[in-house]
Amino acid sequence: MDEISIRRAIYRMAHEIIERNKGARDLIFVGIKTRGFPLAKRLCRIVSELEDCIVPVYPLDVTPYRDDLRNYQSSQKSSYYDVPDTTANKVVLVDDVLYHGRTIRAALDALLGKGRPNVVQLAVLVDRGHRQLPIRADFVGKNIPTSEDDEVVVHLKEIDGCDEVLVQHIKSKQKLQGT
């Protein structure tokens, strides 16, 4: 995806979010750090402009909630996000790439620690498949079929200086070890 196709995908997703939610009332955007947050801000800006209202957007660091990092204490978890009480809101969780689903599971754990939203919807720029958990996106910029030997790399202007999505073929661990 180049800059133009990313912009089109984000605008389409913003319109879909408005349509599905019948406006922007009670919406909160939560972007998973690192690249989900700039995408959430872009979506939020478009929705706010189209609906002529202010929609809040917050960053979320899911690192302490990941199932592969068990050494965090529960007291440390609360300092990793600034999301307010989500009770009775419609939360649009935003990330750049949906792959196995483990990051989203961690984000749901973090969100539910801050209240009980009416609904949580997932918006991703790229869905590459290969789920390990029963998680699906409600709003997808682009479905990109990949193999396990591929890596999807998202670059965003806010972080990397340009907007692009690249699929790079990487050698599997077995191939690298010569087996």
Question: pLDDT of 29-64, one tens digit each?
Answer: 999 999 999 999 999 999 999 999 999 999 999 998
Q: Is residue 16 part of a domain?
A: yes
> pLDDT value at position 170?
86
Q: Are 90 and 21 in contact (CB under 8 A)?
A: yes
Residue 94 falls within a domain, yes or no?
Answer: yes
Residue 114 confidence (pLDDT): 85
Domain membership of residue 163 (yes or no) is no
Q: How many domains does the chain have?
A: 1
| Structure confidence at residue 124 (pLDDT) | 98
Lowest mean pLDDT, pick from 4-13, 141-150, 169-178:
169-178
pLDDT at residue number 81: 57
For CA atoms 110, 166, 143, 89, the dihedral sign is positive
**What is the distance between the alpha carbons of residues 15 and 1, in angstroms, rounded to a whole number?**
20
Q: What pTM was estimated for this model as a whole?
A: 0.89
Query: In the prediction, which pLDDT does 76 show?
Result: 54
* pLDDT value of position 32: 97
pLDDT grade, residue 173 (50/70/90)?
very low
Return the CATH number at 101. Answer: 3.40.50.2020
In this prediction, residue 86 carries a pLDDT of 84
What pLDDT score was predicted for residue 31?
Answer: 97
Whole domain around residue 74: which residue ranges? 3-145
Tell me whether residue 171 is in a domain.
no
27 token code pair: 């919406």
pLDDT band per the 50, 70, 90 thresholds, residue 171 = confident
CA torsion 35-141-8-15 (nearest 10°) is -100
Sheet holding 90-98, edge to edge: 57-60, 27-32, 90-98, 119-127, 139-143
SS3 content of the chain, % helix, strand, coil (to 5): 35, 25, 40
In a domain, 17, yes or no: yes
Is residue 168 one of the residues assigned to a domain? no
Return mean pLDDT, the chain.
Answer: 90
pLDDT value at residue 13: 98
- pLDDT at residue 69, as a whole number: 66
Q: Is residue 52 part of a domain?
A: yes
**pLDDT tens per residue across span 65-117:** 888 766 555 545 544 457 888 888 999 999 999 999 999 999 999 998 888 99
Instruction: List, in sequence order, every beta strand (DSSP E) within the chain.
Output: 27-32, 57-60, 90-98, 119-127, 139-143, 150-155, 164-169
The Cα-based distances of 112 to 134, 176, 179 in angstroms read 18, 40, 44
Cα distance between residue 66 and residue 104, in whole Å: 9
Residue 162 included in any domain: no
